[in-house]
Amino acid sequence: MADEEHPAVTNFRKYVRIKTVQPKPDYATCTTYLQGQAEELGAECQVVECVPGKPAVIMTLPGEDPSLPAVLLNSHTDVVPVFPEHWKYDPFSAHKDEAGDIYGRGTQDMKCVGIQYLEAIKRLQKGGGGGGGGGRFLRTVHLSFVPEEELGGLQGMGRLVHTETFKRMNIGVALDEGYASTTDAMKVFYGQRNPWWILIKCPGQPGHGSQFLQDTAGEKLAKIINFFMAFREQELRRMEEDPKLTLGDVITINLTKLEGGVQFNVVPAELSVGFDVRIPPSQIEVFQERLDGWCKEAGEGITYEFGQKVMEKAVTCAEDGKNPWWDAFASACKKMGVVLEKEIFPASTDMKYIRRLGISALGFSPMNNTPVLLHDHNEYLNEQVFLRGIEIYAEIIPALANLRP
């Protein structure tokens, strides 16, 4: 019954119903909602628009010693587009079925985490926890709800980190999103692969479609596609043959765009092909050399341009005894019986901007025994998994925020 639902679940479903869906997210309604959450926490709240109409909401709970490096709990407010005809329920209804599965865009990516932060702190405040009176922590805790992550974060966290507001926040460690695990273990990410969106342009001899023209755009395009797809198959086999490798350890390639052509009987002067490539931090230079070699071998005049090219090599130390932030995080998880699997995040998150500044950053979404449905149709999260995540954060947050210098 609705009146028996856990208040945290009700709050989560309310957040999911706000249509912050790209390409036209309702940031205004979202900001009003988050300001209300800040008021409930008794947190200081400011709205920063690095780009007009694209607000970041920052909540601050001052610590007992504000001079110490602070803890940042980050989440993004925007979600990816939906195709309602492929959904069992309205993707913004936050429908909950009899099994307690809550359907909606953003249930996994990543409105769940934003609410888990908030509800964990509420729980600590009500219990007078956090190592200080009324749930206060030794260190200041900031919660940031940022826009535009699903478009790469350039107009969200990408700009926020360069503001005086962010510098004054004095961040020592940041938490952000991970993704679900289908096993009992939970995944934690200490780095991420680099997205390269590459558009390769193949010029060639134009002419009539009835001839054997030489040096055509189509011939060059075919060679480029063959190079990319053969390497894709090679990386797939490498991962399948080595059980120790995860998606974050290999280079993935997907053909995502084809452009060019006028009509069937006209050989075009240029054809283009686009690829989404994700590269582990250690393999950036190697892949750049491979890309240049393929273009040279495929024919004269081939050029390429990037829709996005991230060159981030920074990773967070996640070795026991070598990073006190990691030790505090890992110890809190162990106390809660959470088994961690450390990986490189296969996609891209806002933490690339944080790690670039030399700040420790971990990606963690406490969802186990759950199918990975981020960006998929019928995205859902079970309410018991969601509530368990709040309990876990209620252990992690004070472990970080009360870490002694």
Catalytic residues: 78, 149
Q: Render 102-127 in DSSP notation, one character per residue.
A: EE-TTTTTTHHHHHHHHHHHHHHHHT
Backbone angles phi, psi at 261, to 5 degrees: 95, 145
Element (H, E) at 387: helix 383-401
Structure tokens at 107: 């249930």
CB count within 10 Å of CB 285 equals 11
Q: Residue 400 burial by CB count (10 A; 0-12/13-18/19+): exposed, middle or buried?
A: buried
Report which of 92, 116, 97, 81 is spatially closest to residue 9, judged by C-alpha positions: 116
Element (H, E) at 235: helix 217-241
Helix axes 27-41, 111-126, angle to 10 degrees: 20
Element (H, E) at 257: strand 252-260
